[in-house]
Structure 1
Amino acid sequence: MQFYYGNQMPLRILDEAEFWKHQEEEHTVVIRELVAGLEQPYVDALEQWENVLSATHQTVVRFIESVVRSGGVLSPALHQEVMKLVQGCLNQSLQFIEFCRHVKENSAPVQSNPTAVVVINHIIRESEYFVGIAQTLLYSA
């Protein structure tokens, strides 16, 4: 992400969050579809993650609409809420990464499927990319 957006930065980080929360939501489906015989507790957890990530995605979309309607001039309260949302998205991605690592390390069907291991590693790296973006914004603010 480039940092020459100036006062458009809150909208830019929300765009990133919107994209990556949708990606993570889709990744739950990818894992379920890719791993034949995935243990039911992991299937159930992935379905729960899909629902949670979908809800976060929709929240981000609502914030984008609010920022756009503000004409790019955010009140201090809205700016603070955007920052809290980004922090929440970051924490959620960190938890999703840990969950994916847990599945990769503890699921026999995943461990016996080299393609699944590669895909889950890719999913983890993509979520880590968003974490880096969110941390940069939060720690530079």
Structure 2
Amino acid sequence: MQFYYGGQMPLRVLDEAEFWKEQEAEHTVVMRELVTDLEEKYVKALKHWEEVLNTTHQHVKRFIESVVRSNKHISPALYQQVLDLVSFCLQESQAFIQFCRQVKTESTVVSGNHTAKVVVDHIVDESEYFTGIAQTILYEQY
């Protein structure tokens, strides 16, 4: 993400959050479909993560609509709510990363499947990319 957006920054960071929350939700499906014999507890957890991430994705989309409708006059309260939402998205992504790492190391099926481990590593890398963006935005603001 480029940081020369100035007054458009809230919209730009929300665009990033919207994209990555959708990606993370899709990644839960990728993991379930790639590892067809995945242990049931991980299948259930991935389905739950999919629901949670889709909910966050929808919440971010609503904030994008609010920012767009503000006609470039973002109130301090809305700006703070955007930062709070980005903080939440960051924490959620960090928890999702931790879960993915747990699946990689604790699932007998995944730990014995080189392709699955590579895919999980890629999923983690992508979520870490978003966490880097979110941290940069948040640390610049505080």
TM tier, smaller: over 0.9
Partner of 2:10: 10
Partner of 1:134: 134
d(CA) in 2 for partners of 1:41, 1:108:
12
Whether 1:27 and 2:27 are equivalent positions in the alignment is yes
Partner of 2:110: 110
Runs of 5+ consecutive residues of structure 2 not aligned to the other structure = none
Where does 1:75-114 land on structure 2 (aligned, <5 Å)?
75-114=75-114
Q: Over the residues paired in the alignment, what is the CA RMSD in angstroms?
A: 0.5
**2:52 counterpart letter in structure 1:** V
Give the SS at the match of 2:72. Answer: coil
d(CA) in 2 for partners of 1:48, 1:18:
19
The alpha-carbon deviation at position 36 of structure 1 amounts to 2.2
**1:50 counterpart letter in structure 2:** E
| TM-score (norm. length: structure 1) | 0.99
| TM-score (norm. length: structure 2) | 0.98
d(CA) in 2 for partners of 1:115, 1:73:
48
> 1:36 touches 1:109 (CA, 8 Å); kept in 2?
no
d(CA) in 2 for partners of 1:46, 1:21:
14
> 1:25 touches 1:53 (CA, 8 Å); kept in 2?
yes
Equivalences, count? 141
Runs of 5+ consecutive residues of structure 1 not aligned to the other structure = none
d(CA) in 2 for partners of 1:4, 1:112:
45
d(CA) in 2 for partners of 1:74, 1:128:
28
